[in-house]
Every structure is written in C-alpha cells, then in structure tokens.
Structure 1
Amino acid sequence: MSTPHIVVLGLGNLLWADEGFGVRCAEALYARYDLPAHVEVIDGGTQGLLLLPYVEAADHLLILDAIDFGLPPGTLRAYHDDAVPAYLTAKKMSLHQTGFSEVLALADLKSALPTAITLIGVQPVELEDYGGSLSPAVRAQLPAALDMAVQTLAAWGVQASARPDDGSRLNHGSLDIRRYEAERPAADSACRVGDARVLFSKEPR
C-alpha cells in the first residue's frame, strides 16, 4: 500500500490583516515541525484555479484559512470532507474563496478530489487594514490551529515532531511576520484601507 500524498494548503492574503491567517499557519507548521517527504506544505495565497494541480495530486488535503462562519470573532473551527465546500462558499470574504471553492468543484468533476479533506479556519476580526498583520484575537489562535493541524496529520498517519526554529522558512524572509510587522510604515505615510483616488475616482466629464 503506497504512502498517501498529503498537501497542507495555507490560503489568504498577508496584506489584508486577518486574511493572512491561513498562510501564517502554514508558515509556522513548516518552520516548527519536522514533516516527512510525503507531506507538502504550500503557501496557496490567492492563486485560485492555479491550485488545482496541487489538489488533484493530494490524497489528503488540509486547508488553513480565515473563514466567515458567522461566529464570534477569533473563533477557531475544523470541518471535514463534505462540509468543507459548504463553508468555503457560504459567505465569501474575498475572491480567493470563490476561486478555491471552484478548485474543489473541478477536482470533484474530474474524480480527482482528495479522499480526505479538513478545513481549519478562524473567524476574522479585521480585514480592512491594508498592510496590517493579524489582529491580537486571531494571532492568539495560531498555537491552537497548529495543534489541530498536527492532530489532523496524526489521524492521517503522520507524526509531526516539534523542533527548534533553525531558520527554515516557507516564504522569503521579508515576509516573516516579525519583520513584516516591524517594517510597516506609519499610518500617516501609508494608506491603511486602499487608495481613495483609485477606489472612488470618476472619469472626467
């Protein structure tokens, strides 16, 4: 019996505060745990349909994301298998969720859906802070989310061993959460909610 290929997929946008929760979870899992070769940790960002090959290649799929469950802000939840597409499409916060729900639908249509799917998601607190990091309530859920991810992997036969931080990074060092937060420009020199000249401009008459 072959070893199942497991994909851990962090979704979201680091530039929009709590939208980056899934990617930050994936980064932490990659940096803090020794994982066997058949477990692939991916920053899926907001790539949408470009993630289809990764989903098709997975026997088991673990999704990490910020999801609007309609629950109190900062609430952490896990959903499994058939419940996952429903929560990805129930109330979309951003375009990446639309794209990824389509990825799962296409994989299903092609009979290439992973045999096991788990979604670990957090109810966001702040999404309109451009260039911001995780809100305190959401950031506080990172350890619990990592524990849930490790437990999910264990249920799939993977023993993830914690290890000291040796500098291993899923992404470029410039995206490290500590550097990202430390180098953020002050509010009076960088817009926090998008550029009103672009968002609300009108063509000259």
Structure 2
Amino acid sequence: MKNIVIGVGNMLFKDEGIGIYASEYIRQNYEFDDETLEIIDGGTLGFKLMTYFQEYDNVIILDTVSIEDEVGGIYRLPSDVLLGLGNYRKTAHEVEIVEMLEIVSVLDSHATVTIIGIIPEDIISVGIGLTKTMEDKFEEFILNGIKEIESLGIKAKKINNIPISDVVKSMIGSYNGEHLTRIPNEEDFTHAINL
C-alpha cells in the first residue's frame, strides 16, 4: 500500500498555511513504523496533486475548510462527502481538490482521499504564522491527522516536541514577527550567489 500525507495551503496568508505547517510538524516530531509513508508539503500545487490521487492507495490531506461553523472546528471529510459538499469550494485550492476528486472518481483505480480540515480564523491577512485560535487548536488538529494515519494500520510514535513556531521558523525563518538570526539554509544561498 502506498500512503501519503499532503499539507495544502498558502503560508503567506496566516491560517491558510496550517496544512503545510501540520505536515512539517508531523515530519519533525513523529516517526512511523511504515517507512514507505510519505509526508509532503503540497502547498498550492493545485491540479498537480492529481498525480498523487492516481498513484497512491491512500491520500490524507491536511488543510483549512470553508464550512459555516465555529472557528477551530475540525472535520474529517472522506472523498465521498467532499464530492457532495458544494460549500467547501471557496478558496482556489479547495475548488481544485474537489474537481480533481470528481475527475479521478470515474477512473477504475484511484486513491482513497480523506481531508482532515480545520475552520480557519484568518486567511485574508498577509502574514506568516497562525492566529491564537489556530495555535490553541493546533495540537488537536495534529492528533486528528495522526489518528487518520493510524487508521491505515501505521503506528505513530512522538519522538520530539518541537513547537509549531520553531517548525515554521525552520521552514521560512519567521513566525508571527519572530525571526531567526539567519535565514534557513543561508550558507547554501550565500554559496550559490558566490558561484
């Protein structure tokens, strides 16, 4: 079985980055007894994600969801529910995910796709980092993702306790106005300029 966890979103718009942050948080803080499990940052790949829907048995997407409910609400949305959920299609990548599911659903073989989604507070403001509401719900969001991974028969073990702020700083150098003293991979960047 080929299984993959994909964090989706846009890190430039506050809570819109939570799926990407979650996938990296899991990579840095957990290990799994199935070494074939892949965890990736799907960012705003859009229709390029369709390859994963066709080549994997199980796809778990970590993302925000546009559902009229309380901010911070966490939902497990299997593909059959998503296909009938018109309200879900509000952001560009949400539209693309549902459209990709509609396309692959007519194929003989495609992944079982499940979204673990959280209702964001702010996906409009430009800023790297999460709102306080999303920070408070982050651990619960992660645990829902881990539960979904474990439902595939994969055992998870927490090996680190790196906080979300440090995870994001390791990715992009900044979190809610706090900055690293140097840019991640700065040596590589400086070396490339000097070539």
1:135 equivalenced with 2:154 (yes/no):
no
Which of the numbers 88, 99, 104 marks the counterpart of 2:96? Answer: 99
TM-score under structure 2 length normalisation: 0.80
Once the two structures are TM-superposed, the CA of residue 95 in structure 1 deviates from its matched residue by 0.9
Q: Contact conserved, 1:34 with 1:163, CA < 8 A, in 2?
A: yes
Cα separation, partners in 2 of 1:83 and 1:91, compared to 1, 3 Å: closer
Q: Contact conserved, 2:4 with 2:56, CA < 8 A, in 1?
A: yes
Larger radius of gyration between Structure 1 and Structure 2: 1
Q: Contact conserved, 1:85 with 1:104, CA < 8 A, in 2?
A: yes
- Structure 1 unaligned blocks of 5 or more: 185-205
Aligned to 1:43, what secondary structure does the other structure show? strand
TM-score under structure 1 length normalisation: 0.76
In 2, the alpha carbon distance for the partners of 1:85 and 1:135 equals 29
Which of the numbers 3, 6, 10 marks the counterpart of 2:3? Answer: 6
TM-superposition CA deviations, 1:41-62 (whole Å, max 9, x none)? 1111111111111121111111
Which residue of structure 1 lines up, in the alignment, with residue 54 of structure 2? 56
Aligned to 1:145, what secondary structure does the other structure show? helix
Q: How does 1:1-205 map to 2 (within 5 A)?
A: 4-35=1-32, 36-87=34-85, 89-114=86-111, 116-164=112-160, 173-175=170-172, 179-181=174-176, 182-183=178-179
Once the two structures are TM-superposed, the CA of residue 170 in structure 1 deviates from its matched residue by 9.2
Q: Contact conserved, 2:20 with 2:62, CA < 8 A, in 1?
A: yes
**2:38 corresponds to which letter in structure 1?**
E
Once the two structures are TM-superposed, the CA of residue 17 in structure 1 deviates from its matched residue by 0.8
Aligned to 1:153, what secondary structure does the other structure show? helix
Once the two structures are TM-superposed, the CA of residue 29 in structure 1 deviates from its matched residue by 0.9
Q: Contact conserved, 1:27 with 1:170, CA < 8 A, in 2?
A: yes
Which residue of structure 2 lines up, in the alignment, with residue 194 of structure 1? none
What's the Cα RMSD here?
Answer: 2.4
In 1, the alpha carbon distance for the partners of 2:171 and 2:150 equals 31
Once the two structures are TM-superposed, the CA of residue 85 in structure 1 deviates from its matched residue by 3.2
Once the two structures are TM-superposed, the CA of residue 174 in structure 1 deviates from its matched residue by 4.1
TM-superposition CA deviations, 1:44-81 (whole Å, max 9, x none)? 11111111111211111111110111001111121224
Aligned to 1:98, what secondary structure does the other structure show? helix
Q: Contact conserved, 1:11 with 1:44, CA < 8 A, in 2?
A: yes
TM-superposition CA deviations, 1:105-130 (whole Å, max 9, x none)? 2222333321x332111111111211
